[in-house]
């Protein structure tokens, strides 16, 4: 269905169908109520859907999707709305299916180390539910206190501990999914390995283009006996990058390894006041190790030695839970702290080989200078997942377009050194036009075949993930206008 055809949709029978299937209290139609759903965490783009539905069960999700299929109207799934790539951004004349009210932990099985949750369950709730028995859920995005598991599945989210324990896909055993035609299927299972195609692996990270997950079976881990966090500060960002390479080259895989530059750490201290980040440091590394007590002690000594060999000035070691939390508190609050420095920021999510860290960080600084914008660097150093935050003022006409161009240059840099345009935030509406920089036309065509196999009508989150058209230049001129004719840019 074209944009022009959608503009002629008669919504009265569609609204009536939703009301009969879900109840009037689960159908949101008033403009002032829809307003809160017009964007996700990428607030630069806003588009109101035609209608919002709030299903409470798998069957209600399926009923809503079947109505969309019957009337041939596109739908977008939305969880907590914390995504940073525009993945949950509605399109014009679409239905927004909100899964936030599917928020129950359905079962906990400690013997087999798994839990079953609905998509609206908040990430941190999983650990809270199992911590009393000595377990935890490893994937921990910085937004873990507010982001939902369904959104984590859609974007294949990571977090501090993804270096050692992997991202969301490594912890999802099975899924109950509503397909784009409304059928309900179970993929994966309750064990790590199942025969046949790895449909579970295919679905995780598909950004809502293959259907909507309504039940998610997660793997939980036994809490380690000992945990230690080290904070090392450096006189240059390059030296900190060399320390990261030295640690991983030595065969050490920390539970987490994060870097913050001087710009970022001072913003954090201004807002959070941890009083543990040296304000004159060019960069700091936060390194967490876990395991048996003797192993942690020996590994901590070796990491401290490698950091000093690569220019670390001082080392702070924390084993006490409260002290560890204090060291991590600033890193978890880094994005929010940017509000102290600038009215707006634009964050990217590129990935690079660890060996390229010193070079790429220097290039990002040069790109920022060339474009005339400050760039703060906060990132998962261990796996090379960068989060450059470009500071700007949306109230000044033209700045958004300029920082988007700078962000695009950073992504192209990541690809040029052998990396990726996304590590955990997804492609969404924000980065789809850069997919051809990373994938060949044949690659993209193959992805399109997979998408059409699940969704031949292309109703599930259309215009996201894959570029249409396939070149960034054409996309910049036409895709946004075609897909979001009424979208507002701020």
Q: Which of 35-39, 232-236, 348-352, 354-358 has the lowest mean pLDDT?
A: 354-358
Answer for the pair 377, 264: CB distance below 8 angstroms, yes or no: yes
Sign of CA dihedral 79, 93, 49, 404: positive
Pairing type for strands 375-380 and 388-392 reads antiparallel
Q: What are phi and psi of 62, to 5 degrees?
A: -60, -40
pLDDT value of residue 355: 86
- Asked whether the predicted pLDDT for residue 231 surpasses 90, the reply is yes
pLDDT value of residue 60: 98
Q: Region 420-447: what's the mean pLDDT?
A: 96
pLDDT for 279-315, tens place per residue?
999 999 999 999 999 999 999 999 999 999 999 999 9
- Burial of 380 by CB count in 10 Å (0-12 exposed, 13-18 middle, 19+ buried)? buried
Using alpha carbons, select from 314, 323, 312, 262 the residue that is nearest to residue 288.
323
pLDDT for 349-377, tens place per residue?
999 998 898 899 889 999 999 999 999 99
pLDDT band at residue 409, thresholds of 50, 70 and 90?
Answer: very high
- Whole-model pTM over 0.75: yes
Task: Tokens for 431, please give them.
Answer: 């980065």
pLDDT value of residue 488: 53
- Peptide bond before residue 469 is cis, with ω within 30 degrees of 0: yes
Q: State the average pLDDT for the chain.
A: 92
The residue ranking higher by pLDDT, 348 or 479, is 348
pLDDT band at residue 224, thresholds of 50, 70 and 90?
Answer: very high
Dist CA 76 CA 97 (whole Å): 6
Q: Region 451-466: what's the mean pLDDT?
A: 96
Q: Region 456-465: what's the mean pLDDT?
A: 96
Angle between the N-to-C axes of helices 357-371 and 399-416, in degrees from 0 to 180, rounded to the nearest 10: 160
Dist CA 208 CA 89 (whole Å): 11
Residues 6+ apart with CB under 8 A from 230: 285, 286, 287, 288, 289, 300, 303, 304, 307, 315, 316, 317, 318
- Asked whether the predicted pLDDT for residue 235 surpasses 70, the reply is yes
Q: Which of 48-62, 184-198, 467-481 has the highest mean pLDDT?
A: 48-62
> Please, which contacts does 461-464 make with residues 24 or more away whose CB atoms are closer than 8 Å?
461/74, 461/75, 461/76, 461/77, 461/87, 461/207, 461/208, 461/209, 462/74, 462/91, 463/91, 463/429, 463/432, 464/86, 464/87, 464/89, 464/207, 464/208, 464/209, 464/427, 464/428, 464/429, 464/432
pLDDT value of residue 468: 76
Dist CA 349 CA 388 (whole Å): 7
- Roughly how many angstroms between the first and final C-alpha of the chain, as a whole number? 28
Percent of the chain at pLDDT above 70?
A: 94
pLDDT value of residue 7: 58
Task: Tokens for 305, please give them.
Answer: 């030695």
Q: Region 395-412: what's the mean pLDDT?
A: 96
Dist CA 240 CA 265 (whole Å): 14
31: number of Cβ within 10 Å: 8
pLDDT band at residue 1, thresholds of 50, 70 and 90?
Answer: low
pLDDT for 131-178, tens place per residue?
999 999 999 998 999 999 999 999 999 999 999 999 999 999 999 999
Answer for the pair 324, 385: CB distance below 8 angstroms, yes or no: no
Dist CA 204 CA 223 (whole Å): 25
């Amino acid at each position: 269905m074209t944009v022009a055809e959608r503009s002629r949709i008669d919504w009265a029978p569609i609204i009536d169908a939703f009301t009969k299937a879900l109840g009037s209290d689960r159908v949101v139609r008033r403009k002032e109520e829809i307003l809160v759903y017009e964007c996700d965490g990428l607030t630069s783009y806003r588009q109101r859907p035609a209608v919002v539905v709030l299903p409470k069960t798998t069957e209600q999700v399926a009923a809503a999707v079947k109505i969309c299929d019957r009337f041939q109207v596109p739908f977008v799934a939305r969880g907590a709305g914390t995504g940073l790539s525009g993945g949950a951004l509605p399109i014009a004349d679409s239905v927004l299916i909100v899964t936030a009210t599917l928020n129950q932990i359905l079962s906990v099985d400690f013997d087999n180390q798994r839990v079953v949750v609905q998509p609206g369950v908040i990430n941190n709730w999983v650990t809270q539910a199992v911590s009393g028995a000595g377990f935890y859920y490893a994937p921990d995005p910085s937004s873990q206190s507010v982001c939902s598991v369904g959104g984590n599945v859609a974007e294949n989210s990571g977090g501090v501990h993804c270096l050692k324990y992997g991202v969301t896909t490594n912890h999802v055993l099975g899924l109950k999914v509503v397909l784009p035609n409304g059928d309900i299927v179970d993929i994966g299972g309750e064990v790590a390995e199942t025969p046949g195609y790895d449909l579970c692996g295919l679905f995780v990270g598909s950004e809502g283009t293959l259907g909507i997950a309504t039940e998610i079976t997660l793997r939980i881990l036994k809490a380690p006996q000992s945990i230690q966090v080290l904070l090392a500060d450096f006189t240059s960002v390059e030296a900190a990058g060399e320390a990261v390479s030295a640690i991983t080259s030595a065969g050490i895989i920390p539970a987490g390894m994060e870097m913050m530059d001087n710009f970022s750490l001072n913003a954090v201290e201004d807002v959070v006041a941890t009083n543990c980040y040296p304000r004159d440091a060019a960069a700091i590394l936060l390194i967490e190790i876990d395991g048996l007590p003797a192993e942690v002690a020996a590994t901590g000594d070796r990491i401290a030695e490698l950091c000093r060999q690569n220019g670390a000035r001082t080392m702070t070691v924390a084993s006490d839970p409260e002290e560890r939390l204090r060291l991590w508190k600033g890193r978890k609050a880094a994005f929010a702290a940017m509000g102290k420095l600038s009215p707006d920021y634009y964050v990217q999510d590129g990935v690079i080989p660890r060996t390229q860290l010193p070079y790429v960080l220097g290039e990002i600084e040069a790109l920022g200078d060339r474009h005339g914008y400050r760039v703060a660097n906060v990132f998962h150093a261990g796996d090379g997942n960068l989060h450059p935050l470009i500071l700007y003022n949306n109230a000044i006409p033209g700045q958004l377009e300029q920082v988007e161009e700078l962000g695009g240059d950073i992504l192209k840099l990541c690809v040029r050194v052998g990396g990726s345009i996304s590590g955990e935030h997804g492609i969404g509406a924000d980065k789809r036009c850069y997919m051809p920089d990373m994938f060949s036309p044949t690659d993209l065509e193959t992805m399109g075949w997979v998408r059409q196999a699940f969704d031949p009508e292309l109703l599930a989150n259309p215009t996201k993930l894959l570029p249409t058209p396939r070149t960034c230049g054409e996309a910049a001129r036409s895709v946004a206008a075609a897909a979001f004719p009424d979208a507002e840019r701020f």
